[in-house]
């Protein structure tokens, strides 16, 4: 009898402790944990690059060159670690705005429409948007063509858009973007394949990603009903593609190619990968992007023509 009473007492204590533990357990801070993991990865990469560079320094015959090489390696390490910390701070700010939940949007193919007709981001096949602007690199000429091609990603049929950038006449970037609109009117960004080029050769595909591959998630490029203050992810592949947007205004007037355009939606685009870079984009109803402004430099790339086949 005593053993039975003792067992029952211990069971009650165990159940009570479980209840207390469950009640007092703090909720997981998934967003902050992601930021910390990315910081660790960034620091490891910085140190890895440092030791590799030191190894190269040891193979310089001249002592003066070895010393200079080591100093450069130390400077590069300090800058890389500084960048890691700045990215970490920027990601934490994103967590404060978006909350701590995991970023894992549910994608159901049946929830998507067959065309993209959001008034601020219409994609009509055969339409080409041409943009130009003077930048530090030179005259930037951008052509964005909505193709009649499609690509299926996560079971969703996406519209393929080709985006080419030339600087002073030389092709600098060639990108294929993949978009789809859900039945509520939100336009989703499902990925991009981008190639940076120099002298006709591909030198990098950094920034390329596809939803569902290697942990990448789709984001929203344009909401169905944007509201001032909205903040949302446009893309997500940790340490590769982390663009976000904030809605700043809903009824702006901007002058593009000497013509005023009213009723524009203004967003503030940013990324933790480059905390110092901030862009303002202006979307005209029935057209889409008409102006992009680099906040730091003041550089403007504006729409100069729309060609429809």
The pLDDT tens digits for 180-236 are: 999 999 999 999 999 999 888 899 998 899 999 999 999 999 999 999 999 999 999
Q: What is the pLDDT of residue 26?
A: 77
Are 222 and 142 part of one and the same domain?
yes
The pLDDT tens digits for 83-99 are: 999 999 999 999 999 99
Number of CB atoms found within 10 A of residue 215's CB? 12
Are 121 and 193 part of one and the same domain?
yes
Average pLDDT over residues 52-78: 96
Give the chain's mean pLDDT: 93
Domain boundary among 59, 78, 102: 102
d(C-alpha 113, C-alpha 146), whole Å: 17
Domain boundary among 35, 67, 102: 102
Are 125 and 88 part of one and the same domain?
no
d(C-alpha 272, C-alpha 262), whole Å: 31
| Token pair belonging to 244 | 């976000």
Are 156 and 245 part of one and the same domain?
yes
Query: How far, in Å, are 132, 174, 236 from residue 180 at the CA level?
Result: 26, 20, 16
**Per-residue three-class SS string for 102-155:** CCCCCCCHHHECCCECCCCCCECCCEEEEEEEEECCEEEEEEEEEEEEEEEECC
d(C-alpha 86, C-alpha 226), whole Å: 29
Contact 96, 160 (CB under 8 A): no
Local structure of residue 234 (DSSP, 8 states): S
The pLDDT tens digits for 101-140 are: 999 999 999 999 999 999 999 999 999 999 999 998 899 9
Residue 9 has pLDDT above 70, yes or no: no
Average pLDDT over residues 151-167: 97
| Token pair belonging to 29 | 């801070």
Query: pLDDT band at 15, cuts 50/70/90?
Result: low
Local structure of residue 42 (DSSP, 8 states): H
Query: pLDDT band at 284, cuts 50/70/90?
Result: very high
Domain boundary among 102, 137, 156: 102
Q: How many domains would you assign to the chain?
A: 2
The pLDDT tens digits for 19-53 are: 555 556 778 899 999 999 999 999 999 999 999 99
| Token pair belonging to 275 | 């905390």
Are 146 and 218 part of one and the same domain?
yes
Residue 252 has pLDDT above 60, yes or no: yes
Q: What is the pLDDT of residue 13?
A: 56
Q: What is the pLDDT of residue 190?
A: 98
Q: Which helix (H) or strand (E) holds 232?
A: strand 231-233
Residue written as tokens 């209840």? 19
Q: What is the percent of the chain with per-residue pLDDT over 70, rounded to a whole number? A: 92
Are 123 and 181 part of one and the same domain?
yes
- CB within 8 Å of 135: residues ≥ 6 apart: 167, 297, 299, 301
- Can you list the pairs that 194-202 forms with residues at least 24 positions away whose Cβ atoms lie under 8 Å? 196/172, 197/171, 197/172, 197/173, 198/172, 199/170, 200/171
Are 38 and 60 part of one and the same domain?
yes
Q: What is the pLDDT of residue 75?
A: 97
Query: How far, in Å, are 8, 25, 49, 236, 263 from residue 14 at the CA level?
Result: 10, 16, 51, 43, 63
d(C-alpha 244, C-alpha 234), whole Å: 5
Strand partners, 261: 254
Are 165 and 94 part of one and the same domain?
no
Q: What is the pLDDT of residue 132?
A: 97
**Helices 30-57 & 63-98, crossing angle to 10 degrees?**
170
Range of the domain at 234: 109-308
Average pLDDT over residues 234-248: 97
CATH number of the domain enclosing 150:
2.40.360
Query: pLDDT band at 154, cuts 50/70/90?
Result: very high
d(C-alpha 18, C-alpha 15), whole Å: 5
Residue 7 has pLDDT above 70, yes or no: no
Are 113 and 97 part of one and the same domain?
no
Number of CB atoms found within 10 A of residue 268's CB? 16
């Amino acid at each position: 009898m005593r053993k039975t009473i003792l067992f029952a007492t211990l069971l009650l204590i165990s159940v009570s402790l479980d209840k207390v533990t469950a009640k007092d357990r703090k909720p997981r801070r998934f967003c902050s944990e992601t930021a910390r993991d990315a910081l660790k990865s960034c620091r490891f990469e910085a140190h890895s690059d440092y030791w590799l560079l030191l190894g190269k320094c040891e193979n310089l015959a001249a002592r003066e060159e070895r010393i200079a090489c080591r100093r450069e390696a130390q400077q590069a390490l300090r800058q890389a670690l500084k960048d890691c910390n700045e990215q970490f701070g920027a990601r934490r700010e994103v967590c404060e705005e978006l909350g701590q939940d995991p970023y894992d949007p549910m994608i159901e193919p049946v929830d998507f429409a067959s065309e993209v007709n959001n008034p601020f981001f219409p994609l009509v096949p055969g339409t080409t948007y041409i943009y130009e602007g003077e930048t530090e690199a030179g005259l930037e000429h951008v052509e964005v063509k909505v193709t009649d091609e499609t690509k299926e990603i996560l079971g969703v049929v996406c519209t393929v858009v080709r985006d080419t950038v030339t600087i002073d006449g030389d092709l600098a970037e060639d990108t294929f973007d993949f978009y789809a609109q859900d039945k509520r009117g939100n336009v989703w960004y499902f990925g991009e394949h981008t190639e940076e080029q120099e002298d006709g050769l591909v030198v990098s595909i950094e920034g390329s990603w596809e939803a569902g591959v290697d942990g990448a998630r789709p984001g929203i490029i344009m909401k169905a009903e944007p509201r001032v203050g909205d903040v949302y992810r446009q893309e997500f592949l940790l340490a590769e593609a982390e663009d976000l947007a904030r809605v700043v205004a809903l009824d702006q007037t901007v002058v593009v190619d000497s013509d005023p355009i009213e009723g524009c939606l203004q967003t503030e685009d940013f990324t933790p990968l480059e905390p110092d870079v901030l862009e303002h984009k202006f979307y005209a109803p029935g057209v889409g992007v008409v102006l992009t402004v680099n906040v730091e430099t003041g550089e403007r790339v504006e729409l100069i023509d729309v060609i429809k086949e």
